[in-house]
Amino acid sequence: MNYAILIDGGFAKRKIGNAKHPATSVEFKSLIDKITALPNLREHRLHRVYYYDSTLLTSHEQKPLGGDPVDFGTNPVVERSTRMFGELAKLPFMARYASVSCLSMDGGCRRNALRRKTAKG
């Protein structure tokens, strides 16, 4: 029997890593190896690993309360996450990276909500 592993990236990154030591693709590979080594799964075949996370905010936006502009694309988290997604995509059995942002896959929902917040002041 085949099985799949679904990884909620936002949750798993916080459980595997922290602010001082962010989660890496090596640690995710270790997690996948531990799951596949579980006794209940040894006789089964891994079909695919699905990793999903929210869309990275890379645009320039105004802070909702402070009003100062912020270039989210220059945040080190964006560079680190982009690199990790690329490394994860190269792992065996890994499906394409999927992003989740409200009900929209293009991140439009998040951007529009952020604009509504800043417009309200």
**Alpha-carbon dihedral sign for residues 87, 92, 94, 95:** positive
- The Cα–Cα gap between 32 and 90 comes to 14
Q: Which residues of the chain have pLDDT under 70?
A: 96-121
Q: What is the pLDDT of residues 17-39, one digit of tens each?
A: 998 999 999 999 999 999 999 99
CB burial readout 9-29, b (16+ within 10 A) else e: beebbeebeeeeebbbbebbb
Structure tokens, 42:
């040894």
Q: What is the pTM of this model?
A: 0.71
State residue 46's pLDDT score: 95
